[in-house]
Structure 1
């Protein structure tokens, strides 16, 4: 099969170092293109170029003209996968025990991760509101407390509460309104 660089590849396979250098010069744009597709954090572009050049030399030795594959197509795949394998394996190892800032710092990476739950301030605020609500409920009359508990905690309607307690519907509504109004006044004055 005829292809570009055939005579150079044959000379390079025979051990001609000048032919290998000539092939490396001619495929430099291909190597640079492959490097741009394989970004590396741990290796710089010069190191990747050296790895690609080594792969070119191995590819010259491994190339089989009988398979009817153009040398440049064969080389392109070999370089690309060599660089991909090199960059795929690298990972930034990040320890959560690593100090942040100064080496002597007591603060670690784990300390900087935000907690997904509520903040301490939010918990304290909710506790205070809950305490104020309990105090406001305690200040109500027993009938008012009973109506609010049945309506809000048990989910009963005003009509059901009136039937259960043997009261008129309007009396239950008034009890609820007075209870909420008394609680509102207590909460505003207490906070």
Structure 2
């Protein structure tokens, strides 16, 4: 089996220490977490972990089974990139003078559908939302001008297919 990108969705009770135990599952198998996001889900008191890994399907199946053994985990799923709709966000901090002096930066902002979040005397901040390669392309375009700061979020994703988790979560909510 060859390595590919997988997005793991974990639905769990909001519990202290669970993130540490989940990351330990990856550590034991020497699998790097490429992206991690934790947020509330569509059901009150249920959190959703979105974890991105580059591994084989065999390994991701084993990892999901191990994650589901955690007491607080309600259910875990994995998906390939074709099975989900996903986005990442990034912020770029750049010297203000460049915004007015470099037409390539203005073109990059327009062509990439980026947004200027704020402008100060010394710097301005761009926000870019998209897939990883789109953010990488924006980074590559801005790098020659000097990026003062850069930060990227973890992936957020929803499945294209209906998820059986909805019924499980509703039942969980009724029982709590």
Place the TM-score, normalised by the shorter chain, in its bin: under 0.3
TM superposition score normalised by structure 2: 0.20
Higher Rg: 1
| Structure with more of its chain in helix, by fraction | 1
TM superposition score normalised by structure 1: 0.19
| Structure with more of its chain in strand, by fraction | 2
Which of the pair has the greater relative contact order for Cα pairs under 8 Å at 6+ separation?
2
